Structure 1
Amino acid sequence: MNGLYDEFRIALHSVWNRRWLALAVAWGICVLGWLVVALIPNSYESKARISVDMQSILSDKVGIESRDRKRQMDRIQETLISTINLEKVVRATDLNLSVASDRELAGKVEVLRKKIEIKSDKDNIFEITANASAGNLSDAENAVLAREIVQKLIDIFIETNLAGDRVETDQTLKFLDEQLAKREKSLREAEQKRVQFETENLGLLPGVGSISQRLEASRAELNQIDAQLASASTSLASLNGQLAGTPPTIATPGVAGGGVSGQLAQAEAELASARARGWTDSHPDIIAMKNQIAALRRQVDTKSGGPSYGAPNPAYSSLQSMRAERQASVAALQARKNTIEGDLAQLVSKQSLEPAVVAEMAQINRDYDVLKAQYDKLLQDREQIKLRGEVETETDAVKIKVLDPPSSPRSPAAPNRPLLLAAVLFVGLGGGIGAAFAMGQVQTTYPTAGKLEKASGLPVIGSVSQVLTSSQRAIGQKKMRLFYSTAGALFGVFTLLMIVEFIQRGMVA
């Protein structure tokens, strides 16, 4: 412990012996450091907080969701410090005093962008901070400039959100109207092309009336007609057989049997009609009619002994009329069959053209569907944007409130000049002491007898302290007073600089 104390005393003695060197180095470092600190311009900072409230009651009903509002907040934060807005800020503040060309304006904009900071504390609260440190302006002017920059940004913010959304909506609607007009024209042309193609190739297209369907329908109809023709031919043959077995005339007795004869004629007519309907001789009604006719004939033969006269048979006439109808029906069915067979031959010959026409029609329909989908999407977007624009402009969807107006800085935000001045002083003192100590280490001296004995390896008998005369003491006292005065002047300059700094801050306030 005593050795450490001795070493400290030796080091302190070495520095004290070279105190003038330490003081000179301290003065040099302090003067140079204070000069550098003095050249650093003061930067004044102004802050403001604004709140952006967006209505969500009606907005949600028309498609303005929370993520849309968040995206709009991000867009506001990014576009607020755009080049166009910063040019407006430069033109509207004292920064424009040193702008003489577009190049200088661009430089001012880039510098200003680095000195503006926008933070979002919450989803709808923004904090705008701006620094001003123009070298051609005084501290007071820089403080005012910082506040003007923040105020101008707030004005641009309000102007952009109140008027910018309407302008953007109008531009978007105008663009969509132009695109809708183009799509409508293309859609109309596609419709006309499709109708024309369908008209020209109506029989070759799929759907109702296509070749395939017409072939199927014609074959089905031909099968049906064949069945009807077979049935009609069978019915006609049966009718011809009945007609061959029916006499064209019937014997009519005298007057006495006139009533029974009428009944007989009526019964025979009913029998012919029943056979025309397809009833056979084994049918119960046919058997009953035959028995009735036989009985009536016996009555006629019994009541009339005179000659009988021939009269037209009504059954024969009815069968002839029915045969004519059946013959006409068979002829019509045969003509219809011949026509369908001719149409089938033509359709089969055209069927080879159907695939190419169908493929071209499919391409036309695909083009039309694409145009129609684009048109419907643009129309839906136009109506939605129009409705959203009306909601945002007519219901004040965006409300901007200035929570904290731009602050008027009273002290520079940077640099912390008092701290820097004190730091330079301590660095100067430390540098001076360090220089004196280093010089003591470089020069070979022996401050104590023990050091000399250790270095030489020889015993030291004794040491003689410094002996000063009265004149030397007087000179030494003068040098000490000069040293103290010079050291005190260093602290005095430091104090003076601190006073000047606070006076300048007071002038800004």
Structure 2
Amino acid sequence: MQDLLDELLQYLRGVWLKRRYILIATWIICPIGFMYVSTLPNTYSSSARVFADTRSMLKPLLRGLAIQSDSRQELGLIVRTIKTKENIEKIARASDADLLTTNDAEYRQLLNKIRSGVRISGGGSQNMYNISFRGDDPKLAQKIVQGTVDVFIENTLGEKRLGTDQAQRFLDEQIAEYEQRLIADERRLADFRRDNAQYMVNNQGSYFRALENAKSRLEQAELELKETETELETAKKQLNGEVDFAMQDLSAVKTQYDGRIESLRIRLDQLLVRFTEKHPEVQETQKRLDSLLEQKRTFLSGRSNSAGMDGNPILQDLKATVNRLTAAVASRKVRRDQYLEQVSELQDKLDFVPEIEAQMTGLNRTYSITKDKYYQLLGRKESAVMSEKVEQSTEGITFRVLKAPSLQRTPSGPPRLSMLIGVLVASVGVGIALSVVFSLLSPIITSPKALTKATGLPIYGVVSATENSGMQRWEKKKTRIFIAANVALALLFAAFAVVNSKPQLHDLIFIQGLGAL
């Protein structure tokens, strides 16, 4: 630590011994810098304060019915785009600053001057905006601030109307486009249904559900057919039983066939004793016997009908039942055959159904999406129309100028006092830097330790400079010169500071005086 302090002291002694470079740097830089700062042109500033009131009584009433725009976001966008070329030209025309230019070069210079000088700050939750401009003409600065205020308000209201018009045009274009798409989807869906009508099942869910329903109907029809056939067989048996019963009542009636039948039976018994049933004569006799029995039965049936069997109510009911059941069996067979044909047809088309249903589902999905988007756009269109009517009837944003653009007769800049101090500090810094550099380039031994470090030899004693050598007088003289020069520099700085702190005195000396020269 001690070595570090010794080395630092060595540098300070070197700077002190080379202090003439500090004087040279300060007396070269300061006068030039002071004059430059003093001759800078005056700048005048003008400012205004504008309050943007975004509150409206209709907003809570129309929430959900009209489109609620973000007024703060719109204001922020206008602030960020206020320095575009178009807006700067509007400000130049609004402030009549463009009348001061005579050619394109001056006009472009004026636009750059306005762009760099205009400042807009504030905003936030309070919607309070400060608009200022700094220039070399106080009246022009006031006009430019007023023009900026006018353009800011005009752009905000105009941008809102322009945004509404653009939104409505965009919605109209999208509605027309989606309407055409909806018509095309409906046409494709209708064509697909017409081309694949044989695979379409109405009000029955899927094709497989329709097949299951058809099979179920077929099973029901077959069951009903079997039940009806069973009832018909039962009715026929009952009818035959009633007829046989009636025939038995007439079996005691004598007919011309009885003698012959009896003789044939006796003959048949005699033949069976001698021959088997397969004997030709036995078979011939049996046929003749059966024929006579059939003729007798026919005869007795005719007798029964003539005796009033057709008037029997039980037989009439049985015959009606048989006829009804016979017709029911026929109709149920037709229905069974029809259901069987439907099931067969559905099963034949079963391999094509999944693909058809997949295509149909895709078309329905596309159609549903397009229809939903179309109706959403129509709803947005209605909201946009209502929002436009609200904007026409009320102002969404109301501007109030809280502070009009001011006309400042006193210059607001440049900050000459700060700049003078900066010049002074910079010159001293340059002088110290030069002293350090030259002390390093031509080092001077200022202490026994430095000499020991430089030569590596021990120091046994130190001889001080005497009065007769003249070195002390010369050092004192240089010190007095250094102090005097710094005092003079301080006085020079004070003089420039006083002059620049008084605008009228500064203008009299540096503006009018130098202008006269």
TM-score bin, normalised by smaller chain = 0.5 to 0.7
What is the CA distance between 1:74 and its match in structure 2?
2.2
Q: Supply the AA of the counterpart residue of 2:171.
A: L
Secondary structure class of the residue paired with 2:329: helix
Q: Which residue of 2 aligns with 1:85?
A: 87
Paired residue for 2:154? 159
What secondary structure, in the 3-state scheme, does the structure 2 residue paired with 1:144 have?
helix
Aligned counterparts, 1:326-405, within 5 A: 326-405=325-404
2:67 touches 2:384 (CA, 8 Å); kept in 1? Answer: no
2:181 to 167, 177, 186: 186
Q: Tell me which of 238, 245, 268 is aligned to 2:241.
A: 245
Q: Which consecutive residues of structure 1, in runs of 5 or more, have no partner in the other structure?
A: 1-14, 134-138, 251-307, 436-441, 445-453, 467-483
Distance of aligned partners of 1:487 and 1:111 in 2 relative to their CA distance in 1, 3 Å threshold: closer
Match of 2:45 in 1: 45
CA distance in 1 between partners of 2:325 and 2:371 (Å): 58
Residues 191-234 of structure 1: CA distance to partner in whole angstroms, max 9, x if unpaired? 11112211221332466355423322221111111111111111
1:201 maps to what in 2?
A: 196
Name structure 2 gaps, 5 residues minimum: 1-18, 247-305, 435-441, 445-460, 474-486, 512-517
What displacement does 1:409 show?
1.9
- Measured after TM superposition, the shift of residue 416 of structure 1 is 2.4
1:481 matched residue in structure 2: none
- Is 1:416 equivalent to 2:415 in the alignment? yes
Q: CA deviation at 1:54?
A: 1.6
Which residue number in structure 2 is paired with residue 316 of structure 1?
315
Matches within 5 A, 1:79-478: 79-93=81-95, 95-96=97-98, 97-98=100-101, 100-101=103-104, 108-120=110-122, 122-133=124-135, 139=136, 142-205=137-200, 208=203, 211-246=207-242, 310=308, 312-417=311-416, 420=419
The structure-2 alpha-carbon separation of the partners of 1:180 and 1:410, relative to structure 1 and needing over 3 Å to count, comes to same
Compute the displacement of 1:86 (Å).
1.6
Contact 1:55 1:398 in 2 (8 A): yes
Pairwise CA RMSD of aligned residues? 4.7
Please name the residue that 2:59 is paired with.
Answer: 59
CA distance in 2, matches of 1:232, 1:486: 136
Provide, for residues 374-403 of structure 1, a one-character-per-residue CA deviation record: whole Å limited to 9, x for no partner. 223322322223322322331222111111
State the Cα deviation string for residues 13-62 of structure 1 (Å, max 9, x = none).
Answer: xx9xx9xx97x998765542243114423222211111111224421332
Q: Give the whole-Å Cα distance in 2 for the aligned partners of 1:485 and 1:123.
A: 55
Q: Percent identity?
A: 27
CA contact (8 A) 2:34 2:420 kept: yes
CA displacement, residues 147-177 of structure 1 (integer Å, 9 cap, x when unaligned): 1122112111221233331222122101211
Residues 110 and 381 of structure 1: is their aligned pair in 2 closer, same or farther, counting only changes over 3 Å? farther
- Could you tell me how far apart the structure 2 residues matched to 1:188 and 1:51 are? 51
Preserved contact between residue 131 and residue 149 of structure 2 (Cα < 8 Å): no
Matched residue type, 1:414: G
Residues 348 and 99 (structure 1), Cα distance of their counterparts in 2 relative to 1, 3 Å cut: farther
Secondary structure of 2:128's aligned partner: strand
User: Please, what TM-score do these two structures have when normalized by structure 2?
Assistant: 0.63
Contact 1:392 1:398 in 2 (8 A): no
Query: What is the letter of the counterpart of residue 142 of structure 2?
Result: R
Distance 2:489 2:337 in 1: 138
